[in-house]
A and B are shown apart, each in its own frame.
Chain A
């Protein structure tokens, strides 16, 4: 039976193959590691660059740790008994942005900070985020990379 040429079919397989190469190179390619970790922390250079990476599967990737505090003091604070610490499966800022977590951590109009650390082999990214209350009941969420 004659097999017609199907550009859509070939294109999807090519996209799948290209992303597979990207994923397979992750353990050895600093660029891929850095791109994906930056994506996790919303630190990609532009929203458009971040958005086109979103179909790349990354479920339960990396070691993502958080520390939430009801204060504006940055950095680790082992003496801070109010801090909440834990590990997340991926995209650690979801702790403030996603679902019920937003309500749990931002129910009261009190400024909060969250420190996020993601590690993959020798690549580490640490970001510090501040949620500042607004008059409309919401928050301004700003973040910065901690050197």
Chain B
């Protein structure tokens, strides 16, 4: 009896692993605040806001709910499908739904959808190349684009903080230190007097500015693995030290950053994993 695998069977290449990793990370980022989103949607249905600035379709709570569900489904399909055409379509649907969520009245301010938009832009490009390019080159390019995106997001955070108010710590003091219910700020308030708390806010804010600026300016230029390790540490620490809800914003970036770990140091993709049939159409 022959043991030769069927001709349609393919190995799971590193770029495909990277693609799936980012779909899973972005999907988890969307459902991270699921309870909050359901509550939010109910509120939008109960209290509609009529505003000339937004087209009517982008004020509709029903549109928001449907697009959110479609985004989650498309990410799940993209993460699991073995059919290339289905993967490309799911990535496009992901990008379109993220675009809507970025400009809808009820979600435009949530950075979850901005980082998700960038993750899906990357996914659309990668899904279109998986059957065309050699895995080592594609993996290098995928990681390079991912580094560029992560750098850009952090630079965006930094640029808006290059002010006296942030350098003095005043803005983050008002947002976090006065009354935010979070383990770090609760702990600091319980340990410090008002003057010391304000002083800590200054150094906390300066640390944020310096880290975001340095990462924004340099991550894209570092070797893939170093960039990935630093980005993963920084992105995780942002949520752990300021707000657990921020994981919804950061998880898609964490997925993108982690793709740097999949770049083979020797530039040869010799460790592709024989996992499953992957059918390209």
Contacts and interface: CB of A to CB of B under 8 A. Distances in A.
A122 to B, nearest CB: 10
Interface in B115-131: 115, 117-118, 121-122, 124-125, 128-129
Contact of A3 (B137, B161, B165): B137
Contact of B160 (A8, A58, A97): A58
A50 B117 CA distance: 16
Scoring A9, A99, A120, A140 by chain B CB atoms within 10 A of each residue's CB, the highest score goes to: A99
Contacts of B44: 102
How many chain A residues sit at the interface, stated as a range, is 35 or more
A72 interface: no
Contacts, number: 178
B157 A57 contact: yes
Contacts of B72: none
A17 B152 CA distance: 8
A97 B49 contact: yes
A117 to B, nearest CB: 12
B109 A120 contact: no
Interface string B139-168: 001001100110111011111111111100
Contacts of A36: 160
Nearest to B48: A138
B155 A57 contact: yes
Contact of A60 (B46, B107, B136, B160): B160
Contact of B163 (A42, A63, A99): A63
B39 A137 contact: no
Contact of B156 (A47, A51, A56, A134): A56
14 contacts: A19-B156, A20-B151, A23-B155, A47-B55, A57-B153, A59-B156, A60-B175, A63-B163, A63-B166, A87-B175, A102-B49, A138-B48, A140-B50, A140-B51
Given A42-B53, A50-B53, A96-B49, 11 more contacts: A17-B148, A55-B117, A61-B157, A62-B160, A88-B175, A98-B40, A99-B106, A100-B43, A137-B47, A139-B49, A141-B51
Interface of A: 1, 3-4, 6, 8-9, 12-13, 16-17, 19-20, 23-24, 26-27, 36, 42, 47, 50-51, 54-63, 86-91, 93-94, 96-100, 102-103, 106-107, 119-121, 131, 134, 136-142
